[in-house]
Structure 1
Amino acid sequence: MTASRPDAPIAYHTGSRSSLGRLYRQHHPWLQNLLRGRLGCGDTAADLAQDAFLRLLKTPRRFDSDEGARAYLSRMAKGLCVDHWRRLDIERAWQETLAVHGEARLPSVEHEQIVIETLCEIDRMLERLPEKVAAAFLGSQLQGKPYRQIAVELSVSERMVKKYMAQAMLQCALIEAGFEASL
């Protein structure tokens, strides 16, 4: 058996516990520092770094080198930061909505978290939809606009608005059925 050279590239397959453990030990501090720099908060950086490795545990990947692993972790960190900031925006909007309605309607903490998570799922769904489909969905569901008005605003036929709504409703049904991850 030959010993590997210290400068030889390390291959990782996160489906293997030992390989994931090695990847974690070698790159977790670096990833956490990267996230801390982007977020300005050590606690949130620690949470998101853990989330990154949990995702690798759930969806194994193969890396041929440290550079490949770091490039992937860097892209993942960027996405985790964007998700975090979007969630903060949603939480802030929710708090503003609650403030408008006064304390008499304050939900329980558990209910509030369910609402925020649902809003985040809808936000992710809208982000995946084509622009006109998302606009039709929001116009109909949030603003209560009739399909005819949406069609005029989007410069499409009313029939096309119906197709857009069918696309959006299918995505909602998939989320409800728990198939969001497959979208």
Structure 2
Amino acid sequence: MPTSLHPAVVATVDAIYRSHHGWLLGWFQRRLGSACQAADLAHDTFLRLMASRDVAALREPGAFLRTLAHGVVVNHWRRIDIERAWAAAVSAQPEPVTPSPEERAVALETLCRIDEMLDRLNPKARSAFLLSQLDGLGYAQIGEQLGVSERMVKKYMAQAMLQCLLLAGE
């Protein structure tokens, strides 16, 4: 996100904030049941608004905010699911293997970044990558399961590996 915004963008975001913050906060509260979480996610939504292109040219800012807010709440629920799965995996470990709070925070952040990376892939590329990495299948086996050629599996894996490299570079 830019450190300084154009005055027209600042004025537009300010006007949208004044007009729509109340209903956005209520929208999040109805979905989450928590005023604190609703305030955090409303804040995240407006950060996304400021980072988006052509804010000053928005014709329907309410509809655009709804779209942004939907993405924010989906990411919030996805993170909660990842945290629950991680907590279940950790609780199944013997006590000496239980990670420290710092290790847990790093692992959760990494899992969320991997989840976002996988979400950027098309469904077949994601499936090919997971079948390869989690199930240990070869490209020919993956091609059979997905109903595509081995060459296409190689393309899917290249897409996934590119996303992995981009993730590692962040």
Task: State the TM-score, normalized to the length of structure 1.
Answer: 0.79
The 3 A distance-change label for structure 1 pair 104 and 122 is: same
1:80-106 Cα offsets, whole Å, 9 max, x none, are 111111111111111111122233222
Aligned counterpart, 2:147: 155
Report the structure number with the largest CA radius of gyration: 1
Greater displacement, 127-136 / 106-115: 106-115
Aligned counterpart, 1:135: 127
Is residue 52 of structure 2 the alignment partner of residue 48 of structure 1?
Answer: no
Is residue 69 of structure 2 the alignment partner of residue 77 of structure 1?
Answer: yes
Is residue 56 of structure 2 the alignment partner of residue 62 of structure 1?
Answer: yes
CA contact (8 A) 1:136 1:164 kept: yes
Aligned counterpart, 1:9: none
CA distance in 1, matches of 2:9, 2:139: 52
Is residue 76 of structure 2 the alignment partner of residue 110 of structure 1?
Answer: no
CA distance in 2, matches of 1:75, 1:164: 29
Greater displacement, 149-158 / 41-50: 149-158
Unaligned runs of 5+ in 2: 1-5
CA contact (8 A) 2:129 2:160 kept: yes
How many equivalent residue pairs? 164
CA contact (8 A) 1:14 1:56 kept: no
1:20-72 Cα offsets, whole Å, 9 max, x none, are 2332233212211111112222111110001111122333512556xx22111
1:135 match: secondary structure: helix
2:14 match: secondary structure: helix
Is residue 21 of structure 2 the alignment partner of residue 19 of structure 1?
Answer: no
Is residue 21 of structure 2 the alignment partner of residue 28 of structure 1?
Answer: yes
The 3 A distance-change label for structure 1 pair 14 and 40 is: farther
CA contact (8 A) 1:14 1:62 kept: no
Task: State the TM-score, normalized to the length of structure 2.
Answer: 0.85
Q: CA RMSD in A?
A: 2.1
CA distance in 2, matches of 1:105, 1:15: 54
CA contact (8 A) 1:14 1:20 kept: no
Shift of 1:167: 1.2
2:148 match: secondary structure: coil
Identical positions, percent: 48
